[in-house]
C-alpha cells in the first residue's frame, strides 16, 4: 500500500509536466511541418543552388514556431496603419466574391473578431446553467445575446452560452437561455476551465460566497 501511494504521488508530480511537454512538442512539430511544406512548395520556383542553401532550414527544430510568431507580429504591425487596413479590406473583398470560400471565410472572421475583440463580451463571464436537465448544473461561458429573427422570437432577457465538454473543452454545446435561469460566478475563465478539465477533482482557488444553488438569484444583468 505504501508503494502504491508513492507511485500515485509520483504520477501526480510528473503527469502534468509530461502532458505539457508533449503538447508543446506537438505544436512545435506541427509548425515545423507547415514550414517544411511551405519550403517544399517553393522548390519549383527556386534555383537548385538556392534550394540547396535553404535545405538546412528544414532541419532546424523549432524554427517554424519562431517564423509563425514573427509573421504574426509583422502582420499585426502592418495592419495597424492606414495602408495595412486598406490591403486587408481588399483581401476581404477578394474572398467575399469566391463561392463556398465566402461562407467559410466570413463565418470564421466573425467568430474570431468576436472572440479576440478587446471590446467584446464573449467568454468574459463564467456562469452556472441548468444542463442537461432542470435538476443538474454545469459550468458555462456567456458568449453574447441573440439577435435578429432569433431575438424577436425568443423575446428579451435571453443570453447565449457555451457549455464545454469534459475533458475536452474545445467541443461543447451552444445554448440560448433566459438570464434569470443562470448564476454568474466570480471565477475567472481559467479557474472555470481548470474545474471542467479536472471533472470537478480540482476545486477553484476561491469559491464565490454569494452563489447558492438552493436559492437562485437573477444574474447576468
**pLDDT at position 217, please?**
45
Q: Could you tell me which residue, 69 or 206, shows the higher pLDDT?
A: 69
Indicate if the pLDDT at residue 12 is higher than 80.
no
Q: Say what percent of the chain tops pLDDT 70.
A: 76
CA dist., res. 2 & res. 124, Å (int): 45
Owner of C-alpha cell 467584446: 120
Provide the grid cell at 117: 475583440
Indicate if the pLDDT at residue 213 is higher than 50.
yes
Q: What is the pLDDT of residues 41-59, one digit of tens each?
A: 766 666 666 666 666 666 6
Indicate if the pLDDT at residue 215 is higher than 50.
no
Q: What is the pLDDT of residues 135-149, one digit of tens each?
A: 899 999 998 888 889
Q: Could you tell me which residue, 174 or 56, shows the higher pLDDT?
A: 174
**pLDDT at position 145, please?**
87
Q: What is the pLDDT of residues 65-101, one digit of tens each?
A: 777 788 778 888 888 888 888 888 888 888 888 888 7
Q: Considering only 41-55, 118-132, 159-173, which range has the smallest mean pLDDT?
A: 41-55
Q: Say what percent of the chain tops pLDDT 90.
A: 15
Residue 173's φ and ψ, nearest 5 degrees, are -130, 140
Question: Residue 176's closest CA among 212, 205, 209, 140?
Answer: 140
SS3 per-residue string spanning 109-154 = HHHHHHHHCCCCCCCCEEEEEECCCCCCEEEEEEEECCCHHHHHHH
Amino acid at each position: 500500500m505504501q508503494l502504491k501511494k508513492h507511485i500515485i504521488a509520483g504520477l501526480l508530480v510528473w503527469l502534468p509536466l509530461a502532458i505539457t511537454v508533449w503538447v508543446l512538442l506537438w505544436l512545435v512539430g506541427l509548425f515545423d511541418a507547415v514550414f517544411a511544406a511551405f519550403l517544399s512548395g517553393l522548390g519549383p520556383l527556386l534555383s537548385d543552388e538556392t534550394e540547396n542553401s535553404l535545405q538546412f532550414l528544414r532541419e532546424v527544430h523549432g524554427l517554424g514556431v519562431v517564423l509563425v510568431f514573427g509573421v504574426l507580429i509583422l502582420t499585426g504591425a502592418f495592419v495597424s496603419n492606414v495602408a495595412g487596413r486598406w490591403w486587408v479590406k481588399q483581401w476581404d473583398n477578394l474572398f467575399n466574391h469566391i463561392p463556398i470560400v465566402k461562407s467559410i471565410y466570413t463565418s470564421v472572421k466573425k467568430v474570431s473578431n468576436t472572440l479576440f475583440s478587446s471590446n467584446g463580451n464573449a467568454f468574459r463571464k463564467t456562469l452556472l446553467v441548468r444542463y442537461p436537465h432542470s435538476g443538474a448544473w454545469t459550468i458555462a461561458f456567456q458568449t453574447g445575446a441573440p439577435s435578429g429573427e432569433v431575438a424577436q422570437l425568443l423575446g428579451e432577457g435571453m443570453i447565449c452560452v457555451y457549455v464545454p465538454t469534459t475533458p475536452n473543452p474545445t467541443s461543447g454545446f451552444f445554448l440560448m437561455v433566459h438570464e434569470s435561469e443562470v448564476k454568474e460566478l466570480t471565477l475567472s475563465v481559467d479557474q472555470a476551465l481548470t474545474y471542467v478539465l479536472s471533472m470537478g477533482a480540482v476545486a477553484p482557488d476561491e469559491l464565490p460566497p454569494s452563489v447558492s444553488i438552493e436559492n437562485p438569484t437573477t444574474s447576468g444583468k
